[in-house]
Amino acid sequence: MRHDQESQQLAKWLSSQNDDVRSRIQSIPPRVVETVVDYLLAWLENEEDVQVFFDGINVADESDGLAGELYGEDGWIERFSDPSTALD
């Protein structure tokens, strides 16, 4: 499969890089995911035609800001992320 071959080539290239390069490259995916989730939550909160319910409750109505739920000591990132992938 093409993606498997590309993944193997990328992994091989990455393993040949120094620690600084590997660390910088490996920090990119968590940052991309955090940014996408932040924008998605902000969009969901502001989009009038889309509502998200959990156990019959509109989550946007129960939050003072969905995107803000990601951050802080009690935020989703702090509570549910793998500390080894935490962002600086």
C-alpha span between 27 and 22 (Å, rounded): 9
Better-scored residue on pLDDT, 42 or 84: 42
Identify the DSSP state of 60.
H
pLDDT digit string (tens) for 13-24?
A: 999 999 999 989
pLDDT digit string (tens) for 45-57?
A: 899 899 999 999 9
Residues 30-40 as b or e (16 or more Cβ within 10 Å = b)? eeeebeebbee
Q: What pairing do the DSSP bridges indicate for beta strands 53-54 and 57-58? A: antiparallel
Q: For the whole model, what pTM was predicted?
A: 0.71
| Predicted confidence (pLDDT) at residue 83 exceeds the cutoff of 80 | no
C-alpha span between 78 and 86 (Å, rounded): 8
| Predicted confidence (pLDDT) at residue 86 exceeds the cutoff of 60 | no
* Cα-trace Rg, the chain: 18
